[in-house]
Amino acid sequence: MDNENVLIIAEIGVNHNGSFETAKKLIDVAKEAGADIAKFQTAKLDSLVSKKAHMAEYQKENMGVEKSQKDMLKELLLSFEDFKKLSDYCKEVGIKFLSTPFDIESIRFLDELQDIWKIPSGEITNFPYLVEIAKTGKKIILSTGMCTLDEVENALNVLKNNGASDITLLHCTTDYPTAMEDVNLNAMLTLKNEFNLPVGYSDHTKGIEVSVAAVAMGARVIEKHFTLDRNMPGPDHKASLEPEELKALVSSVRNVEKAKGSFEKKPTAAEFKNREVARKSIVAAKYIKKGDLFTEDNLTTKRPGDGISPMRWEEFLGKTADRDYEEDDLIQE
Q: pLDDT per position in the chain (333 positions), as tens?
A: 445 799 999 999 999 999 999 999 999 999 999 999 999 999 987 767 666 666 566 655 655 666 566 666 667 899 999 999 999 999 999 999 999 999 999 999 999 999 999 999 999 999 999 999 999 999 999 999 999 999 999 999 999 999 999 999 999 999 989 999 999 999 999 999 999 999 999 999 999 999 999 999 999 999 999 999 999 988 889 899 999 999 999 999 999 999 999 899 999 989 998 999 999 999 999 999 999 999 999 999 999 999 999 999 999 999 999 999 999 999 999
Structural domain boundaries, residue 37: 7-260
Residue 52: CATH number of its domain: 3.20.20.70
Residues 238 and 325 in one domain: no
Examine residue 1 and state whether it is found in any structural domain, yes or no.
no
Question: Is there a single domain that holds both residue 238 and residue 283?
Answer: no
pLDDT for res 1: 40
Asked if residues 63 and 239 have their Cβ atoms less than 8 Å apart, the reply is: no
**According to the model, what pLDDT value does residue 27 have?**
98
Whether 299 is covered by a domain: the verdict is yes
Which of these three, 225, 260, 295, is where a domain ends?
Answer: 260
Same domain, 16 and 42: yes
pLDDT score of 60: 59
Residues 120 and 229 grouped into a single domain = yes
Q: Please state, in angstroms and as integers, the Cα–Cα distance from residue 181 to each residue in 56, 177, 185, 226, following that order.
A: 20, 12, 10, 22
Q: Characterize 221-249 residue by residue with b for buried, 16 or more Cβ atoms within 10 angstroms of its Cβ, and e for exposed.
A: bbbbbbbbebeeebbbbbbbbbbebbbbb
Domain termination site, one of 214, 233, 260: 260
Helix (H), strand (E) at residue 140: strand 139-143
Shared-domain flag, residues 170 and 220: yes
Residue 2 lies in a domain: no
302 and 237 assigned to the same domain: no
73, burial (CB in 10 Å: exposed 0-12, middle 13-18, buried 19+): buried
pLDDT at 176: 87
CA atoms of 15 and 246, how far apart (whole Å): 14
**Contact between 13 and 231 (Cβ < 8 Å):** no
Q: Domain holding 269: CATH number? A: 3.90.1210.10
Give the pLDDT score at 70.
Answer: 63
Q: Examine the domain organization and report whether 162 and 300 are in the same domain.
A: no
Residues 213 and 108 in one domain: yes
Specify whether 122 is located in the same domain as 215.
Answer: yes
Number of domains forming the structure of the chain = 2
Same domain membership, residue 243 and residue 275: no
Please check whether residues 206 and 193 belong to one and the same domain: yes
Closest residue by Cα to residue 73 from 45, 99, 53:
45
Residue 207 sits in the same domain as residue 246: yes
Given 240, 260, 280, which residue is the final one in a domain?
260
pTM of the full structure: 0.87
